[in-house]
């Protein structure tokens, strides 16, 4: 994934377009993290072992995603956000993509490069 994303960044034509590609990569990683958490729990459940993700953990992960969104970090640092400079996605996007992976448990739901909306 990374070599293709880096190639797309080089071909983007502008810093804002290259940043958009980086946001797609980062949101895909957030989704992959959700898929991993889902599958880990399913494996443990099938083995009759204690679950890795306990009640409240997903909410904590979503709060963390919200806290580290580019919009939140920029507003905290300078009082305003510059969307063209985002490299990781907004708080809402990060939460949504983690949740998409966690709820589905499927990598096929993590294609940020084909998504109509990030």
Tens-place pLDDT, residues 58-113: 999 999 999 999 999 999 999 999 999 999 999 999 999 999 999 999 999 999 99
Note the pTM of the prediction, 2 decimals: 0.90
Count Cα neighbours of 30 within 13 Å in the Cβ-side half-sphere.
Answer: 30
Q: Given this model, what pLDDT does residue 19 score?
A: 93
pLDDT band at 55 (very low <50, low <70, confident <90, very high): confident
DSSP state, residue 54: P
Instruction: Determine contact, residues 31/96, Cβ cutoff 8 Å.
Output: no
Q: Which position has the token pair 């958490």?
A: 37
Is residue 114, in this structure, part of any structural domain at all?
A: no
Which residue range(s) make up the domain with 23? Answer: 2-108
Is residue 115, in this structure, part of any structural domain at all?
A: no
DSSP, collapsed to helix, strand or coil, labels residue 52 as coil
Is residue 21, in this structure, part of any structural domain at all?
A: yes
Q: Given this model, what pLDDT does residue 54 score?
A: 84
d(CA 77, CA 69): 12
pLDDT band at 2 (very low <50, low <70, confident <90, very high): confident
Q: Given this model, what pLDDT does residue 38 score?
A: 95
Tens-place pLDDT, residues 16-47: 989 999 999 999 999 999 999 999 999 999 99
Count how many domains the chain has.
Answer: 1
């Amino acid at each position: 994934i990374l070599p293709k994303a880096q190639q797309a960044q080089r071909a983007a034509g502008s810093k804002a377009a290259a940043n958009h590609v980086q946001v797609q990569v980062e949101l895909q990683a957030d989704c992959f993290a959700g898929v991993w958490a889902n599958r880990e729990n399913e494996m443990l459940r099938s083995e009759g072992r204690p679950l890795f993700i306990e009640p409240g953990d997903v909410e904590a992960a979503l709060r963390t995603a919200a806290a580290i969104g580019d919009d939140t970090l920029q507003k905290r640092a300078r009082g305003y956000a510059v969307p063209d400079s985002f490299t990781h996605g907004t708080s809402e996007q990060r939460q949504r993509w983690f949740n998409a992976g966690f709820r589905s448990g499927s990598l096929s739901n993590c294609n940020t490069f084909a998504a109509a909306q990030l």
